[in-house]
Structure 1
Amino acid sequence: MSEFDSGDNLFDDLDVDQILASQPPASTGNLKRTYDHETEVNDRGNQLKKQRNNGGDTIDDDPFPDDGIFEELQPENLCASAQMEVAQKLLTETFGYTAFRHEQAGAIGRILAGANALVVFPTGAGKSLCYQIPAIAFPQLDLQNASRTPGEHGITIVISPLIALMKDQVDALKKRNVPAECIDSTKTWEQQQQTYAALREGKLRILYCSPERLNNEGFVATMRHVRGGVRLLAVDEAHCISEWGHSFRPEYLKVARFADEIAAERVICLTATATPKVVDDICSAFKIPAEGVFRTSAYRPNLNLHARAVKTKQDKYPLIFQFLNENPGPTLVYVTLQQQSVLLAADLREQGFDAEAFHAGMRVDAKAEVQDKFMANHIRVVVATIAFGMGIDKPDIRNIVHFDLSSTIEEYCQQVGRAGRDGKTSNCMFYICPDDRYIRENFARGDLPSRKSLKGLLMDIFGENTTKSVGDTFKTSHYVQSRDYDIRQSPLATIYAALELRFGLIRAITPEYSEYKFVATPVYFARMKTERSPAGNAIYTNAAKKSKFHHVDVNGIVSRTGLPRVDLVRKLNEMHDTGLIELKAGGIEQKYRILQPLPRTDPALDALVDDLHADLSRREADALRRTQQVEDLVTGDQCLALALAQHFGMGLPDGKIKCGHCTHCLTGRRVVIPPKQPRKADLAGIKRILTACDVRDDPRFLARIAFGIKSPRVTQLKMDKHPVFMTLADHDFEASLCCFFEKACEGAEC
């Protein structure tokens, strides 16, 4: 099962007119409001202004005075102190905490006042309470003010990137008797219907979904007309919306549009890592003024940040063995590659340490077993890729070790932030050597397609679709296009997002599976012989047995019978859920609606190619710059904790310039990476690659083979299995490899 939501058809067959007809008249609380933030006395900037106007009198420490000034801001017409009284009661009775931490109270107060907010808190600092408490508070405040009747309290929608995190949050809320659900591809048809019934009846308080869900037209329509309206839209991992963010995801760019389309009353964005530039991007997208930003420093006084440089990767092994012997307690060791996690865990076990590997390529049950053992202290060390740690709330992690170079400072900050959440001293060690740069450059260099690949992709997308009219739809397979045009999935998604959001040419809508097949269970034939529904009969009649599976051509059945596709898909899901068949669906095809006439001429396509290629080139340079920032952070001539805080636009408490317990503070010296000797161009090696591969249409493709970078085309031609693969990994990619292979592709001698 994919970690990310692949989409289901819960909302595919919903009739918007039917939804509207089933809703009672919308209360005035459904209206989206825009407030004059200059009048909000809980805004810290305005508090200072008021203080100056009063001749410097001290402002009351209570940011929510019971003075009635808030009344014009409240949908419920309740003063701020009354709202916060409800919030405090929920904090204690529902979540078991006695007091708010950091700036939780300020953020919650702003949301209850009807305004948008951005929360930037460190990992584990309680960001989720900033939307969970308002979501639960709305019904109580509505009833106190008699502004809404039961069932009309609306919902809070939470956009979250991972299925596992959504499930964990929902399970935790249900244990506290909070009506919450998530929409994801693992739900049975019955579970999906229960969720929709709860929405229709106004019984749901919080609904989690992935950003990919926003491509589902039925879902968007349903949320636009959901009973009671969308009181709050919470955007978790909001840094993903920023193209300058450390984990940009194109689908997040659509969240702001979604907020407008569903008329969300207010929005709260949440992230643990946001630089000033990323904060600006988030605030611009969701119209959040400066006074709506609530930040807490990433500095943790109980974390000792250490770093050590060595000459080679091999030199790290005795150091990590020594570190683990000297620093007991639960430990996370972060590496970059999946295979590296397996090998290092085995090395640690040979040295007597209780260690296990964890990476995204493991089976779901195997990953769950490692995580459960670590949480229960049955294993001490987990050697993991970045896949481990999201949502982990283990307070007694004593050590974080970075065996490889982190991709970004934000990633490093998130990972060290998992240590010492119990407030006790914890150690974070970063080992660095010259060889670390290669792996990171390998990842960055693999995403930029050639202009020829990009032109071929656009001709494929627009080609026959240029004859279609505005409003028509078309389907594509990103998997096939990735393979055919040698473009990785991540940049391919970025290209489609640009065509949609920057150029306004197309809009993604509900994707479809192109392949359905099933294994018939022992009761299948007996039951299907008495099947009454048209969809069931059509499936039974048209399913073609091939070896183990019965194959169902859903689109072919639609063409022959005229039955709605959604009826056939729903019936297949129902047959699976009731044990008649074991259904397998695959071959996802993305669907798009044409919004403007598509470019037809070569000049128009060339201009688009140039624009997109320039954007992707900038992204490559930005990825390389981020890696360099990590190296600069570790080797800088200042306190490591201060440098980390300054990256996020903040400083140490009380204006200090030293934490007193990082490597730089303790030694008074910077960490120096041993120099790596430059290599002269290996002309013989370049000629061996040209002999092994006859491709001459893309010098960057040949450079990838030399450098050891996989791409769809490299894999398709099996060049990653050839002896020449990665033989020139110690060369300069751009100045050396690309330069020489460009000459070869132009027909010149190297």
Structure 2
Amino acid sequence: MRDDAVDVVLRERFGLESFRPGQREVLTKLLEPQGSALAVFPTGGGKSLCYQLPALLLEGLTVVVSPLIALMKDQIDALERKGIRAARLDSSLSLEESREVTESLRDGTLKLLYVAPERFNNERFMGLLSELQISLFAVDEAHCVSEWGHNFRPDYLKLAQAARTLQAERILALTATATPQVVHDICQGFGIPESHAVVTGFYRNNLTLETTPTGPEARDALLVERLKSRPPGTTIVYVTLQKTAERVAALLSAEGLPASAYHAGLEAEERERVQEAWTHSAKGIVVATIAFGMGIDKADVRAVYHYNLPKGLESYSQEIGRAGRDGRPSVVELLACPDDVPTLENFALGDTPLPEALTALVNELLSSGPELHLDMYALGNRHDLRPLVLRTALTYLELEGVLRQGTPFYAGYKVQPAGSVDALVGRFQGERARFVKELFAHAKKGRTWYTFDPAEVAKALDQPRDRVVKALDYFQEQGYAEVQVAEPRQRYTRLREREDAKALVALLQERFQKREVQEVSRVRDVLRLVTHDGCQSNALVAHFGEQREAPCGHCTFCRTGAARVLPPPHPRPDLREQLDAPTFQSLVARHPEALGHPRQAARFLCGLSSPALSKAKLGNHKLFGTVAEWPFAQVLAFCEAC
């Protein structure tokens, strides 16, 4: 691809005169035949242009995989304003909207399609893409593919296989945060030569990086003082817990500051209202959990405060990177309180599954034959494993060569014909008409809906299951019927005839414990940055492999010439004084499946949910989360004693 063609598209379609650092290098590597690249650019560094521009130069479709709904919506709106056809497929779309996107894909008028990684669990979606020419397969937040990254998502490991299955011509991975180990993992996972990894650096010379040690009793007043004394500007205040977001937003509002809370517990309409108001404000303040900010294109954020400690330096770097993306001076300040450490560590410690749960899971998998069709929801409920923990356990078994994951499918379909079944049959002729008639003859009829088990119907008709599924999809595409899918199943194949179950359980325990230690160490990394005896900006970027010699001149250490000292955490009272042990023991006795193991009980008291707790409806109990700020080990010891 000639450079002048790239420059013409940059100027004429995107209205830009020059590339940002790293962009041209990524495009050069990507636009080679069977090209691939990894772009590690800071937040606001222009990652999206690296797939949007090639989409206009290449024949075929560019598929953009992102977990960020806000990013999808913002980018699609911006592309449409430039006259570039882009769309997304997700569960929020109506039947008619989904049909329009499908038609645009088939007729070739769509240049970019945005989807979440979970979409590749959908056999209908994979079938649709298999009919198309995929010129570029772009994966945002690619650090999620790394088992040792700060936000490992097992679904990301399947994306490289999906790209190969779909015969994508080019692969582009993108992220804002990656240590050298994570860069290696991304390149290995997606088959990208490490020489094609373009890392532009993490240092931001327009950010004043402040770290302020504080105790919990002084933090509210400190935040209010900062917000009132500094010039007003768009601001994000990050907190750990939803209840903290609500309390701090109310505190700031009472002080006359324009603050709103944002967290995953709010209704979708309220979250959207808060986000829209903040986006269009020049001095709005949002008090948010980390659910906020990802993928939001707002360049004039003047300040980012961490009311609570971030969960690691990767998260911290990404979150402060939302400030000052317009290049103007901005402030990022961390109110460093050691009392936050237990809450953050508890999230990591609470995810470690019980040995009994892992034993039961492994035994079930090994006794289910060579081909497994797993109902993930039911499997997690049976063994009290949260969805992410279950998927991680299965991923570990894949990495060990025990299992190989196949294409997911749906075991149930519901069909509501637009008219009568006879009218639907009448749309076809000959053998096809007979096939459609037999389809409905083998369905379970409700009042207006017909329920199909494609495998059972295929067996009864002596036809491939694929033909049954394609027929049902065709009815929907043509508007002949409304079709709903249900009962998702994940295919796995056993790769070896014999396995040592005890050895596998021990291996899983070791990997989960290693991950637990690593997640806890991330929190300690943040505290070490706060107390670092030297330039803190240089220490932060060194974590990502970037070496700087000259002090930045705009961090707390450079400004004061002295390392910070953290106050000691407040002593906790004895848990026996905090909790009513007889009431707790009585509750445990009534719910042995949800609270019978000390670790389950400790999760409950620390406010960490699980399938068994949800099934027992204990999430609203007055004791749930009552000691969320206590160290998990201390709570676990109390539960063992009880």
2:364 alignment partner, SS class: helix
Query: Take 1:320 and 1:288, find their aligned partners in 2: how far apart are those partners?
Result: 45
- Alignment match, 1:242: 146
User: CA RMSD of the aligned region, Å?
Assistant: 3.5
- Letter of the aligned partner of 1:660 in structure 2? G
Is 1:105 matched with 2:24?
yes
- Alignment match, 2:292: 388
Deviation at 1:183, TM superposition (A): 3.1
Structure 1 unaligned runs (5+)?
Answer: 1-77, 139-152, 519-523, 745-749
Deviation at 1:404, TM superposition (A): 1.0
Q: Deviations over 1:568-609 (max 9, x none)?
A: 86489679x89x98x9x686432314353665xxx7222221
Deviation at 1:317, TM superposition (A): 1.0
Q: Deviations over 1:432-480 (max 9, x none)?
A: 21221122122112211111011222333444x22xxx5x55241x333
Tell which structure's C-alpha radius of gyration is larger: 1
Listed as ranges, the matches of 1:254-265 within 5 Å are 254-265=158-169
- Alignment match, 1:532: 424
From 272, 279, 282, the counterpart of 2:186? 282
Deviation at 1:281, TM superposition (A): 1.0
2:57 alignment partner, SS class: helix
- Alignment match, 1:496: 394
Deviation at 1:706, TM superposition (A): 4.5
Is 1:116 matched with 2:36?
yes
Is 1:642 matched with 2:561?
no
Deviation at 1:682, TM superposition (A): 5.1
Deviation at 1:250, TM superposition (A): 0.4
Is 1:137 matched with 2:54?
no
Deviation at 1:646, TM superposition (A): 0.9
1:693 alignment partner, SS class: helix
Query: Take 1:573 and 1:342, find their aligned partners in 2: how far apart are those partners?
Result: 44
- Alignment match, 2:76: 170
2:529 alignment partner, SS class: helix
- Alignment match, 1:675: 568
Query: Take 2:256 and 2:178, find their aligned partners in 1: how far apart are those partners?
Result: 39
1:285 alignment partner, SS class: helix
Is 1:311 matched with 2:215?
yes
Is the Cα contact below 8 Å between 2:443 and 2:451 reproduced in 1?
no
- Alignment match, 2:516: 620
Structure with greater contact order relative to length (CA < 8 Å, sep ≥ 6): 2
- CA distance change for structure 1 residues 423 and 641 in 2, over 3 Å: closer, same or farther? same
Deviation at 1:290, TM superposition (A): 3.9
Listed as ranges, the matches of 1:399-548 within 5 Å are 399-463=303-367, 465-466=368-369, 470=370, 472=371, 474-476=373-375, 478-512=376-410, 527-528=419-420, 531-533=423-425, 538=440, 544=446
Query: Take 1:536 and 1:572, find their aligned partners in 2: how far apart are those partners?
Result: 15
Is 1:592 matched with 2:491?
yes
Listed as ranges, the matches of 1:544-563 within 5 Å are 544=446, 553-555=451-453
- Alignment match, 1:377: 281
- Alignment match, 1:59: none
Query: Take 1:537 and 1:218, find their aligned partners in 2: how far apart are those partners?
Result: 18
Deviation at 1:555, TM superposition (A): 3.0
- CA distance change for structure 1 residues 182 and 726 in 2, over 3 Å: closer, same or farther? closer
Query: Take 1:551 and 1:333, find their aligned partners in 2: how far apart are those partners?
Result: 49
Is the Cα contact below 8 Å between 2:300 and 2:326 reproduced in 1?
yes
Is the Cα contact below 8 Å between 1:356 and 1:379 reproduced in 2?
no
Is the Cα contact below 8 Å between 1:558 and 1:565 reproduced in 2?
no
From 315, 318, 325, the counterpart of 2:228? 325
- Alignment match, 1:38: none
1:509 alignment partner, SS class: coil
- Alignment match, 2:557: 664
- CA distance change for structure 1 residues 728 and 419 in 2, over 3 Å: closer, same or farther? closer
Deviation at 1:93, TM superposition (A): 0.6
- Alignment match, 2:429: none
Is the Cα contact below 8 Å between 2:47 and 2:174 reproduced in 1?
yes
List 4+ stretches of structure 1 deviating above 6 A: none
Deviation at 1:543, TM superposition (A): 5.1
Is the Cα contact below 8 Å between 1:239 and 1:273 reproduced in 2?
yes
From 502, 506, 526, the counterpart of 1:606? 502
Q: Under a length normalisation based on structure 2, what TM-score does the superposition of the two structures give?
A: 0.86
- Alignment match, 2:200: 296
- CA distance change for structure 1 residues 724 and 182 in 2, over 3 Å: closer, same or farther? closer
Is 1:89 matched with 2:8?
yes
Deviation at 1:529, TM superposition (A): 8.7
Deviation at 1:556, TM superposition (A): 9.5
Deviation at 1:252, TM superposition (A): 0.7
Deviation at 1:112, TM superposition (A): 1.9
Query: Take 2:108 and 2:546, find their aligned partners in 1: how far apart are those partners?
Result: 43
- CA distance change for structure 1 residues 364 and 704 in 2, over 3 Å: closer, same or farther? closer
- CA distance change for structure 1 residues 337 and 682 in 2, over 3 Å: closer, same or farther? closer
Is the Cα contact below 8 Å between 2:346 and 2:631 reproduced in 1?
no
Is 1:704 matched with 2:603?
yes
1:294 alignment partner, SS class: strand
From 65, 68, 80, the counterpart of 1:159? 65
Query: Take 1:409 and 1:588, find their aligned partners in 2: how far apart are those partners?
Result: 39
Query: Take 1:154 and 1:529, find their aligned partners in 2: how far apart are those partners?
Result: 38
Is the Cα contact below 8 Å between 1:189 and 1:574 reproduced in 2?
no
Query: What percent identity do the matched residue pairs reach?
Result: 36
Deviation at 1:558, TM superposition (A): 6.1
Deviation at 1:211, TM superposition (A): 2.2
Deviation at 1:120, TM superposition (A): 0.8
Stretch moving more, 261-270 or 381-390: 261-270
Query: Take 1:627 and 1:511, find their aligned partners in 2: how far apart are those partners?
Result: 39
Is the Cα contact below 8 Å between 1:554 and 1:568 reproduced in 2?
no
Deviation at 1:704, TM superposition (A): 2.5
1:532 alignment partner, SS class: helix
1:435 alignment partner, SS class: helix
Is the Cα contact below 8 Å between 1:555 and 1:565 reproduced in 2?
no
- CA distance change for structure 1 residues 452 and 391 in 2, over 3 Å: closer, same or farther? same
Query: Take 1:369 and 1:103, find their aligned partners in 2: how far apart are those partners?
Result: 35
- CA distance change for structure 1 residues 261 and 159 in 2, over 3 Å: closer, same or farther? same
Query: Take 1:377 and 1:680, find their aligned partners in 2: how far apart are those partners?
Result: 44
Query: Take 1:390 and 1:340, find their aligned partners in 2: how far apart are those partners?
Result: 20
- CA distance change for structure 1 residues 502 and 667 in 2, over 3 Å: closer, same or farther? same
Is 1:253 matched with 2:135?
no
Q: Under a length normalisation based on structure 1, what TM-score does the superposition of the two structures give?
A: 0.74
2:243 alignment partner, SS class: helix
- CA distance change for structure 1 residues 721 and 372 in 2, over 3 Å: closer, same or farther? closer
Number of corresponding residues? 619
- CA distance change for structure 1 residues 571 and 389 in 2, over 3 Å: closer, same or farther? same
- Alignment match, 1:693: 588
- Alignment match, 1:181: 87
Listed as ranges, the matches of 1:55-70 within 5 Å are none
Query: Take 1:304 and 1:535, find their aligned partners in 2: how far apart are those partners?
Result: 70
Deviation at 1:316, TM superposition (A): 1.1
Query: Take 1:373 and 1:536, find their aligned partners in 2: how far apart are those partners?
Result: 55
Q: Deviations over 1:401-436 (max 9, x none)?
A: 111111121111111111112222111121121221
Query: Take 1:541 and 1:231, find their aligned partners in 2: how far apart are those partners?
Result: 40
Q: Deviations over 1:290-346 (max 9, x none)?
A: 43221122221111111212222x421111111111121111111112222122211
Stretch moving more, 259-268 or 673-682: 673-682
Query: Take 2:588 and 2:195, find their aligned partners in 1: how far apart are those partners?
Result: 59
Deviation at 1:259, TM superposition (A): 3.3
- Letter of the aligned partner of 1:122 in structure 2? P
1:123 alignment partner, SS class: coil
- CA distance change for structure 1 residues 411 and 588 in 2, over 3 Å: closer, same or farther? farther
